Amino acid sequence: MKHKKEIQTAKPRSKKGIFWWLTLALFVVSVVVFTIETATSGARLAKLEKQERALVQENSELSALLVESSSLTSLETKSSEMGFGIPQKIIYIGSEEGFAKLP
């Protein structure tokens, strides 16, 4: 009679136990996944920051090149080396002295 009673009460305990075990397992898995995710996110962030730094540096180098190339002083030096010069004499033409003017 006593044994029968134990069997009768074992059924609901088993369900509850499974539920708790599942919850615990889910919790453990969540913790592990979350920890891994957090750790990899940090690494991903560090990688992205490294890429950002590299891009900023590249941008900075290109900007420096642009600034250097836009120098009028060096452009003037180069142009005079290539044989260009400023006009020595400027001739102003009166508006009435038009070209292809009819008599």
Partner 1 sequence: MHARLTLISIAFLLAFLALIARLFFWQIIQGRVLSAQARDQYQQGATLLAPRGSILASDGSWLAARVEGWLVFAEAPKLKQDISEIADKLAPFFVEDSSDQQSVVAEAGRLKEALGRKATVWIPLKHKVSGEVKKNIEALKIEGIGFEHEERRYYPEASAAAQILGFVGKNEEGEDQGYFGLEGYYDLVLSGKPGFLSREKDATGLPIILGSEREISAIEGVELVTNIDKRVQLTLEKKLLEGMEKYGASSASAIVMEPSTGSILAMSSFPSYDPAKYSQFGDSYFKNPVVSDSFEPGSVFKVIVMASALDQGVVEPDTKCDICQGPLKVDKYFIETWNKEYRPDSTMVDVIVYSDNVGMAYVAQRLGADSLYDYLDKFGIGKLTGIDLQGEASSALRQKGSWNIVDLATAGFGQGVAVTPIQLITAVSAIANDGILVKPQVVGSLKGPGWEEDIRPEAGHRVISKEASDEMTAMMVEAAKGGEAKWTHLRGFKVAGKTGTAQIPIAGHYDAEKTIASFVGFAPADEPKFVMLVTMKEPQSSPWASETAAPLWYSIAKDLFPYFGIQPEN
The residue among 30 and 38 lying less far from partner 1, judged by its C-beta, is: 38
φ/ψ of 91, rounded to 5, equals -105, 125
The residue among 90 and 102 lying less far from partner 1, judged by its C-beta, is: 90
| Size of the residue set binding partner 1 (CB under 8 A) | 24
Interface pattern 68-97 for partner 1 (x via CB under 8 A): x-xxxxx-x---------x---x-x-x---
The residue among 10 and 32 lying less far from partner 1, judged by its C-beta, is: 32
Cα gap 47→39, rounded to integer Å: 13
Cα gap 32→41, rounded to integer Å: 14
- Interface with partner 1 includes 45 (CB under 8 A)? yes
Alpha helix segments (H runs only) across 1-103: 2-69, 72-81
Q: Report CA torsion sign: 19, 23, 24, 26.
A: positive
φ/ψ of 76, rounded to 5, equals -65, -40
Footprint of partner 1 (CB under 8 A): 38-39, 41-43, 45-46, 57, 60-61, 63-64, 67-68, 70-74, 76, 86, 90, 92, 94
